[in-house]
Amino acid sequence: MFEFELEAVDKGSGARAGKFHTPHGVIHTPVFAPVGTLATVKALRPSDLHALGSELILSNTYHLYLRPGDELIRDQGGLHSFMGWDGPILTDSGGFQVFSLSNKRQLDEDGVTFSSHLDGSVHRFTPERCIQIQENLGADIIMVLDECPPPDDYDYVSESLIRTHGWAEKCYLSKTRSDQALFGIVQGGIFSDLREESAKFLTGFDFPGFAIGGLSVGESKKEMYQTLDLLEPLLPADKPRYLMGVGAADDLVNGILRGIDIFDCVLPTRLARHGAAMVAGGRLNMNNSQYAQDSGPIASDCTCYACSHFSRAYIRHLVKANEILGHILLSMHNVHFLTQLVRELRSAIFSGEVSQFSETFLQHYAQPEPDSVST
């Protein structure tokens, strides 16, 4: 169980292609996982995700713990059965949401006490509790509890790292299910010595995979890529590497070139609900009047259901009228776009053309305007 087969390694970069075996099927890496925060990838059905080629989805421990509750999901046969998705699932530890969503929180060495963003009720996550919740949910890949600190405050990140490492060890020791892979999470902000320290500490445990946390949280892209460059030789080559919460197309390309195998992000579905379509050149804001009479598809080379059946004019109409079908079609298109991009990169790794493919893609990719569509 949880064998990671390396199938191809690119000579000119850190890029690699592999297969990660889980109880619910093989994940072909590199892979992009859409996010189903509340046990549903927003606006999509499990059958859509299969049709889109998604091989892994992520769900959120913090959210599911609060509602409908991890014990309810356990009693309903676990998350796969509850949400009708028979493929691999990854659950995060909830740590990120405690720090980004809850109104109040109090940290101590043993865990974090926080108030729910839903009703203010008080809860506590310890490493042991966090594993217990994820064992109730029953995902294939589960994560250690970590703190995601502001990336550029050295003193804070340094202090936080000690706590996060202690939690990782406790998670490692408290895990009981053999059909779940527990990944460690490397933290350390933008500081190379702290990242190095974290990688060394965590690789001292026999985790079946390693995540890189605390990126895409305000640091520059250059800082993100430098951190990935630093970590690439420090993480074991024979285990999957997961860059958490990253889903911009250029970051996927740059991450794959630096040896990342797994990505997840709410970006494609969140952009969809804001009316934005992801395309090779960047993003289209489908609210714009320029699409009002445009009878072409979102992307002429795209084979998704939205592009096969509907015009930009129709999708713009749906977006302007805030129709659910607009969210559905753009969610399909955006998830398809990222899934397809990662699949093409995987093919290019096998054919030895990943550097060339990446260069061409990035040349044509325009960074979205910061205020073009709110994410």
Q: Of 9-17, 37-45, 106-114, 131-139, which segment contacts its own copies by CB under 8 A?
A: 37-45
Exactly one of 48, 70, 92, 140 is catalytic; name it.
92
Cβ distance to its own copies smaller for residue 83 or 253: 83
Compute, in degrees rounded to 10, the torsion defined by CA atoms 84, 86, 90, 93: 40
Residues touching its own copies, count (CB under 8 A): 37
Cβ distance to its own copies smaller for residue 66 or 265: 66
- Does the footprint of its own copies cover residue 74 (CB under 8 A)? no
Helix, strand and coil percent figures for the chain, each rounded to 5: 40, 20, 40
Minimum distance, C-beta of residue 359 to its own copies, in the bound complex (Å): 37
Whether 250 is catalytic: no
Cβ distance to its own copies smaller for residue 160 or 331: 331
Binding mask 269-298 for its own copies (x = CB under 8 A): -----------------------xx-x---
Length of the chain: 375
- Does the footprint of its own copies cover residue 311 (CB under 8 A)? yes
Minimum distance, C-beta of residue 69 to its own copies, in the bound complex (Å): 9
Binding mask 148-187 for its own copies (x = CB under 8 A): ----------------------------------------
Tokens of 217: 């949280």
Alpha helices by DSSP H, the chain: 46-52, 61-66, 70-75, 79-83, 95-100, 127-137, 154-174, 192-202, 221-231, 249-257, 267-273, 305-309, 312-320, 324-351, 354-364
Whether 264 is catalytic: yes
Cβ distance to its own copies smaller for residue 5 or 323: 323
Is the CB of residue 31 less than 8 Å from the CB of residue 263? yes
Cβ distance to its own copies smaller for residue 121 or 295: 295
- Does the footprint of its own copies cover residue 314 (CB under 8 A)? yes
CA atoms of 27 and 359, how far apart (whole Å):
26
φ, ψ of residue 56 in degrees (nearest 5): -155, 135
- Does the footprint of its own copies cover residue 65 (CB under 8 A)? no
Question: With left for phi above 0 and alpha for psi between -120 and 50, is residue 309 left, alpha or beta?
Answer: alpha
Exactly one of 48, 140, 251, 264 is catalytic; name it.
264
φ, ψ of residue 125 in degrees (nearest 5): -110, 125
Q: Of 53-61, 302-310, 348-356, 367-375, which segment contacts its own copies by CB under 8 A?
A: 302-310
- Does the footprint of its own copies cover residue 82 (CB under 8 A)? yes
Strands 141-143 and 181-186: parallel
b/e per residue, 69-99, with b = 16+ CB within 10 A?
ebeebbeeebbbebbebebbbbbbbbbbbbb
- Does the footprint of its own copies cover residue 325 (CB under 8 A)? yes
Summarize as ranges the residues that interact with its own copies (CB under 8 A): 38-40, 42-47, 67-68, 72, 75-77, 82-84, 292-293, 295, 305, 309-311, 313-314, 316-318, 320-321, 323-325, 327-328
Active site residues: 92, 264
